[in-house]
């Protein structure tokens, strides 16, 4: 009798170990509906678990802002997906949050056919910001504007223009003695300080140069007609052209090795823009200003707002290409006059790429949680009207 009792007891234990856990796990549909824990609670729990894996994104108890790169080109993703601070999360994953309308801001680039109405999200939160973003000028961004441009879609603009809600320059010059300065701050340049005390290494590098000017370009038929200006200069001085529009080869993105080569060999670099548009000065200027080469600029920007005085040569300050070429020849033969174009390096530094995501993030946090946002009445007018010109002061003769 005792043996049967032992066997029964062992079977009960085995039954409990095997089947009891499954009874807990497999809750019936009815039991789930009747319980105080709903499906959405399970979903929230899963989201909480995901957030717990992102402790670095928590910020002093405030709500973290989520920014979605809804439609931007790959190169822009590379820039904007750089590590951010804890106040914002930037992603190109449209499924990062349960619904598109959960994002605080969506970015749309002019480099894609986002202007087609069906390409916009079908649902939009009243507190969600749509951001018009572009680094190309209106003449190069190829907008279709098949959506009614007067339709109130965009709340913010993020471009190279100084009047944008979020200023996104290709670079900027800031005081060497401070850790940070807003790109959008109006510069208060000091007057040039010329003296005989220049870095010996700088003087040695200048004396070793043996070519006048270099230019790297891939678009030979730009709106600015810059190729004709370069060709006019070539009639008077040596201008070596790299890229698709010339016989010399250098990586299109101008690698560090290529810049070093220009730094060693050339007195000047032609920082010619593809279009003559307000505030439009690109990496062609800021990259070369990190080296001991004087940029010769040609564009539509007011360069005095962006660059220190006597740190560049503006082609539009000359009547003709011949006048410009003669001045470059004079500087090449007069080291004392040439080296004065580097006076500013003692006081300022060049920042090639600003932390644009911080600017956008700060803008989002400056707004109240229940904001509805302003709207641009006509984004096409804002973007294109009176921004670019075909007129120039310098004559290509």
Convert the pLDDT of each residue in 319-355 to its tens digit. Answer: 999 999 999 999 999 999 999 999 999 999 998 875 6
- What's the rounded Cα separation, in Å, for the pair 163 and 172? 16
In a domain, 56, yes or no: no
Do 80 and 196 share a domain, yes or no? no
**What CATH number does the domain containing 125 carry?**
3.40.50
Give, in order, the Cα–Cα distances in Å from 152 to each of 56, 75, 363, 382.
Answer: 36, 28, 20, 13
For the cut 50, the answer to whether the pLDDT of residue 33 exceeds it is: no
Give, in order, the Cα–Cα distances in Å from 73 to each of 4, 89, 107, 289.
Answer: 76, 19, 11, 27
Q: Any idea how long the chain is?
A: 397
**289 versus 188: which is more confidently predicted?**
289
In a domain, 143, yes or no: yes
Q: Report pLDDT for 149.
A: 56
At 181, list the tokens.
Answer: 């300065």
Do 332 and 189 share a domain, yes or no? yes
Please name the residues in contact with 122: beta carbons below 8 A apart, sequence gap of 6 or more: none
Do 164 and 176 share a domain, yes or no? no
Query: Domain of 89?
Result: 63-169+358-388
At 304, list the tokens.
Answer: 């005095």
Taking each helix axis as running N to C, give the angle between helix 256-265 and helix 200-208, from 0 to 180 degrees, rounded to the nearest 10.
80
- Nearest CA among 359, 304, 364 for reference residue 159: 359
Please name the residues in contact with 250: beta carbons below 8 A apart, sequence gap of 6 or more: 216, 242, 243, 258, 261
Do 165 and 73 share a domain, yes or no? yes
In a domain, 16, yes or no: no
Do 322 and 339 share a domain, yes or no? yes
For the cut 60, the answer to whether the pLDDT of residue 152 exceeds it is: yes
Cα distance between the two ends of the chain: 120
Most confident of 83-87, 95-99, 111-115, 247-251: 95-99
Do 276 and 177 share a domain, yes or no? yes
Convert the pLDDT of each residue in 62-76 to its tens digit. Answer: 689 999 999 888 888
- Work out how many domains the chain is built from and give that number: 2
**185 versus 47: which is more confidently predicted?**
185
Do 157 and 288 share a domain, yes or no? no
- What's the rounded Cα separation, in Å, for the pair 382 and 132? 11
In terms of DSSP H, where are the helices of the chain?
2-25, 29-34, 39-52, 74-80, 200-208, 226-234, 256-265, 283-286, 321-333, 335-339, 356-366, 379-384
At 389, list the tokens.
Answer: 């010109």
H-run or E-run covering 88: strand 88-91
In a domain, 76, yes or no: yes
Do 123 and 205 share a domain, yes or no? no
In a domain, 41, yes or no: no
Q: Report pLDDT for 378.
A: 84
**37 versus 247: which is more confidently predicted?**
247
Do 272 and 149 share a domain, yes or no? no
In a domain, 281, yes or no: yes
Convert the pLDDT of each residue in 279-335 to its tens digit. Answer: 999 999 999 999 999 999 999 999 999 999 999 999 999 999 999 999 999 999 999
Are the C-beta atoms of residues 139 and 223 closer than 8 Å to each other?
A: yes
The DSSP 8-state label assigned to residue 252 in this structure reads T
Convert the pLDDT of each residue in 259-280 to its tens digit. Answer: 999 999 999 999 999 999 999 9
Do 93 and 131 share a domain, yes or no? yes
**357 versus 146: which is more confidently predicted?**
357
In a domain, 307, yes or no: yes
**What CATH number does the domain containing 289 carry?**
3.40.50.11660
Do 284 and 373 share a domain, yes or no? no
Q: Report pLDDT for 352.
A: 83
At 262, list the tokens.
Answer: 């220009």
In a domain, 55, yes or no: no
Are the C-beta atoms of residues 328 and 337 closer than 8 Å to each other?
A: no
């Amino acid at each position: 009798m005792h043996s049967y009792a032992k066997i029964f007891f062992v079977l009960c234990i085995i039954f409990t170990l095997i089947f009891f856990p499954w009874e807990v796990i497999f809750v019936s549909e009815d039991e789930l509906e009747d319980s105080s824990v709903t499906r959405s609670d399970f979903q929230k729990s899963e989201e909480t678990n995901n957030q717990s894996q992102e402790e670095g994104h928590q910020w002093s108890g405030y709500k973290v802002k989520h920014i979605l790169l809804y439609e931007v080109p790959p190169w822009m993703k590379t820039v904007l997906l750089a590590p951010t601070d804890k106040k914002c999360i930037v992603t190109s994953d449209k499924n990062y949050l349960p619904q598109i309308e959960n994002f605080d801001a969506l970015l749309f680039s002019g480099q894609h056919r986002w202007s087609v109405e069906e390409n916009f999200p079908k649902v939009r939160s009243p507190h969600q910001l749509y951001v018009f973003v572009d680094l190309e000028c209106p003449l190069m961004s190829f907008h279709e504007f098949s959506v009614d441009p007067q339709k109130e879609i965009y709340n913010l603009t993020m471009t190279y223009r100084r009047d944008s809600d979020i200023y996104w320059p290709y670079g900027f010059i800031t005081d060497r003695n401070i850790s940070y300065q807003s790109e959008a701050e109006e510069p208060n340049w000091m007057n040039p300080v010329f003296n005989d005390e220049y870095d010996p290494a700088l003087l040695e590098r200048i004396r070793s140069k043996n070519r006048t000017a270099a230019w790297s370009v891939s678009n030979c038929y730009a709106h600015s007609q810059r190729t004709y200006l370069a060709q006019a200069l070539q009639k008077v001085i040596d201008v070596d052209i790299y890229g698709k529009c010339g016989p010399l080869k250098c990586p299109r993105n101008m690698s560090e090795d290529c810049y070093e080569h220009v730094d060693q060999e050339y007195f000047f670099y032609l920082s010619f823009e593809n279009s003559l548009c307000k505030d439009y000065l690109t990496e062609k200027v800021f990259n070369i200003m990190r080296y001991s080469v004087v940029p010769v600029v040609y564009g539509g920007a007011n360069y005095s707002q962006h660059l220190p005085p006597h740190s560049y040569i503006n082609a539009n300050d000359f009547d003709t290409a011949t006048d410009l070429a003669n001045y470059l020849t004079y500087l090449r033969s007069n080291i004392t006059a040439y080296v004065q174009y580097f006076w500013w390096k003692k006081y300022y530094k060049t920042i090639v790429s600003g932390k644009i995501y911080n600017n956008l993030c700060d803008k989002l946090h400056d707004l109240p949680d229940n904001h509805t946002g302003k709207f641009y009445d006509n984004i096409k007018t804002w973007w294109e009207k009176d921004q670019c010109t075909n007129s120039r002061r310098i004559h290509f003769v």
